[in-house]
Amino acid sequence: MARVVILGGGVSGHTAATFAAKWLGSAHEVVVVTPNSKWNWIPSNIWVGVGEMSKEEVTFDLAPVYAKAGITYKQAKAVSLNPEGSESSDKPFVTVEFTQEGREGESEDIEYDYVVNATGPKLNFGATPGLDAGHTVSVCTADHAVHASSEFKKSIERMKSGERQKFLIGTGHGMCTCQGAAFEYIFNIEHELTKAGVRDLADIKWISNESFLGDFGMGGLHMKVGGYTVSSKIFTESLFTERDVSWIIGAHVSKVEAGRIEYELLDGSTGEEEFDFSMLIPPFAGVGLKAYAKDGSDITSTVFAPNGFMKVDANYGAGSYENWKASDWPATYQNPTYDNMFACGIAFAPPHGISKPMSSPNGTPINPTPPRTGMPSGIIGKAVAHSICDKILKGENAPLREASMADMGAACVASAGKGIFDGTAAAMTVYPVVPDFEKYPGTGRDTDYTFGEVGLAGHWIKHILHHMFIYKAKLKPGWTLIPE
């Protein structure tokens, strides 16, 4: 009997675990190690953050779902990997520390035949001085979003009593990703303020590390509209103007204090901005897993990139932007040193960014890091599970499944306000996620399959996706028919 250990129960890890359990059946064991007791449909956190959904609507308990699927569930966090085993055993193992109530602090070594690192990111609030001090809010977790909602409501109350409020939403560091979540949040804020009848008392400002509006960490995208091929910059600036939201771009937030931030821009100039309410996304880092060789020596730098994400079959030596190629991106997500080790979702180390790297004259890097969330994250998790199941069921020489972000597209729906008749969202597809300038000279993408539009239909789709993906994650009848 083989044992597959999956570290992380987010979109990618949950997808990998549930498909592995389905394909392997009861003859083999699938173990999920995740510090959380609940699964969270993160894209809907923005609605929790404005009070339009409750935490309960975007989360559910993992234990009964894993019990139903025959998955061994350990509510714990992975601490280290020993891919060569120990001096007393050749069997590789992962050391975990329990977070489950009543077992806090207990640790266990779990032996594995295959391990999948799907730990997601560490929310690195500490990278920006003051970002972890509670002056700003976040929507990265359901609990963060609940807190954001309560602070937002306080702002609305102040406005109802005639007080003017300044909202500052965006990224809290020069190397952030997830601009899309901040984009959704700022327009949901604007929508809710309009609904509350206090929009005229609000100054809303965007701040991000993008070099142009609409970069979204993937170098922007081009769409065919009215016979033209148009940059996402035009559409994003249009939406910001229409909703009267001003912006600061190319910004590295260098310090956060109560009601005030300091930032540095790509041209080297510095500035400061005051706020009454601010949601700033933190940068991501690896969760800090360590790796040890058989003799106990530290091999973390062999297994993980300096940012803490796991090395996979990517080309990490591509060098400058001019040398980047679509083929730099990983396809199998197998660790190059240990072939029974894989990484998926945010946990794999990308070869480089998608957006062009930039820095200020002072040397401060200011550019979005590449997104690895949502649909690509699910597809990669499923491909990794497929590869491992093939190896277990068909033999070690079974070919690995491939799911390169340079060969896959993504559908993305970015909410711009919730409401069954007055809601809107930007519905977008992009193909491929990572631009391939050799295959698609100019824009890097196939503009027959890259499009976007704002409207109520997009909101309906986002709302349906919310229910559909929670249904799928709960493994209800027909769950495998719903695509990632």
Partner 1 sequence: MKKEESNIKAYEQNYTTMVPGAFAKKMRTCVIWQFFRFIVLNIKMLIVVSKSH
Q: Which residues bind partner 1 (CB under 8 A)?
A: 234, 237-238, 240-242, 244, 246-247, 375, 379, 407-411, 421-422, 424, 427, 429-431, 449, 451, 453-458, 460-461, 483-484
Q: Smallest Cα–Cα separation from 330: which of 385, 378, 399, 402?
A: 402
Whole-number minimum distance, CB 241 to partner 1, in Å?
Answer: 4
User: Given the complex with partner 1, which of 139 and 427 has the nearer CB atom?
Assistant: 427
User: Given the complex with partner 1, which of 65 and 430 has the nearer CB atom?
Assistant: 430
Q: Decide: 87 and 296 in contact? Cβ < 8 Å.
A: yes
Whole-number minimum distance, CB 213 to partner 1, in Å?
Answer: 9
Interaxial angle between packed helices 62-69 and 11-24, expressed in degrees from 0 to 180 and rounded to the nearest 10: 20
- Residues whose CB falls within 8 Å of the CB of residue 300, separated by 6 or more in sequence, listed in order: 289, 290, 291
Number of Cα atoms under 13 Å in the Cβ half of residue 60: 16
What token pair was written down for 168?
A: 């500052």
Whole-number minimum distance, CB 350 to partner 1, in Å?
Answer: 18
Centre a 10 Å sphere on the Cβ of residue 357 and count the other Cβ atoms it contains: 15
User: Given the complex with partner 1, which of 28 and 418 has the nearer CB atom?
Assistant: 418
User: Given the complex with partner 1, which of 362 and 480 has the nearer CB atom?
Assistant: 480
Whole-number minimum distance, CB 208 to partner 1, in Å?
Answer: 14
Whole-number minimum distance, CB 454 to partner 1, in Å?
Answer: 6
Q: Decide: 242 and 221 in contact? Cβ < 8 Å.
A: no
E-only strand ranges, 215-269: 222-225, 228-231, 246-248, 251-257, 260-265
**Pairing of the two strands 202-207 and 165-171:** parallel
Whole-number minimum distance, CB 214 to partner 1, in Å?
Answer: 11
The 8-class DSSP code of residue 210 comes to: -
Q: Would you call 154 helix, strand, or coil by DSSP?
A: helix
Whole-number minimum distance, CB 128 to partner 1, in Å?
Answer: 24
Distance CA 144, CA 373 (A): 18
Whole-number minimum distance, CB 100 to partner 1, in Å?
Answer: 35
Distance CA 403, CA 337 (A): 20
Q: Decide: 291 and 92 in contact? Cβ < 8 Å.
A: no
Burial grade of 460 (CB within 10 A; 0-12, 13-18, 19 or more)? middle
User: Given the complex with partner 1, which of 107 and 241 has the nearer CB atom?
Assistant: 241
Sheet holding 270-274, edge to edge: 251-257, 260-265, 270-274
Interaxial angle between packed helices 374-394 and 11-24, expressed in degrees from 0 to 180 and rounded to the nearest 10: 30
Whole-number minimum distance, CB 430 to partner 1, in Å?
Answer: 8
User: Given the complex with partner 1, which of 98 and 333 has the nearer CB atom?
Assistant: 333
How distant is the alpha carbon of residue 374 from its chain centre? 7
Whole-number minimum distance, CB 376 to partner 1, in Å?
Answer: 8
Q: Smallest Cα–Cα separation from 158: which of 107, 114, 188, 193?
A: 193
Q: Decide: 271 and 255 in contact? Cβ < 8 Å.
A: no
Distance CA 331, CA 374 (A): 17
User: Given the complex with partner 1, which of 143 and 402 has the nearer CB atom?
Assistant: 402
Q: Decide: 426 and 451 in contact? Cβ < 8 Å.
A: no
User: Given the complex with partner 1, which of 196 and 461 has the nearer CB atom?
Assistant: 461
Whole-number minimum distance, CB 227 to partner 1, in Å?
Answer: 15
User: Given the complex with partner 1, which of 305 and 465 has the nearer CB atom?
Assistant: 465
User: Given the complex with partner 1, which of 299 and 433 has the nearer CB atom?
Assistant: 433
Centre a 10 Å sphere on the Cβ of residue 480 and count the other Cβ atoms it contains: 12
User: Given the complex with partner 1, which of 109 and 390 has the nearer CB atom?
Assistant: 390
